[in-house]
Amino acid sequence: YSSQDENVYAYTWYAYCEGQPERILVSRGDWPSAQCSLMDLEGNTVGGAYPELSALSWKDGQGRYMVADFDVVEVDYGGETMQDADYDTYTYGIIDQDGNTILETKYTMINCLSADRYWVSDGNTYQLVDENGNVIYEAE
């Protein structure tokens, strides 16, 4: 669903899942200042709002979502000043479908390897972590 008049966008998408998603991803406003959140099937907002939100995986009948945060800066594009994301400030985290934090929004990179294993980086250190943030393997 997309409503250009209200700058509200709603969508669902999962890389793999074991059932029907129970959440809709909703984005209000234009990027990079948009506020993205989860909505249940009753139309209620679930959890907080983030600059970016995407469906990631499915575990035990519940969705997992990657969230991103970043600074918004003014950039000159050929004499026109526009807002853009400061790509050097991006950080990522993981939440569940109830908006609970699984992995804090502090990583410079997250790759989902399975429904409960993530390859993460905080800059110079790379780690294989489980859904509880326990480090399984670490490399620099």
Higher pLDDT, 136 or 114: 136
Between the alpha carbon of residue 81 and those of residues 2, 30, 34, 74, the distances in Å are: 27, 16, 18, 6
Average pLDDT over residues 15-31: 74
> Is 40's pLDDT higher than 90?
no
Residues in the chain: 140
Res 36: pLDDT: 92
Residue 66: count other Cβ atoms within 10 Å of its Cβ: 23
Mean pLDDT of the chain: 86
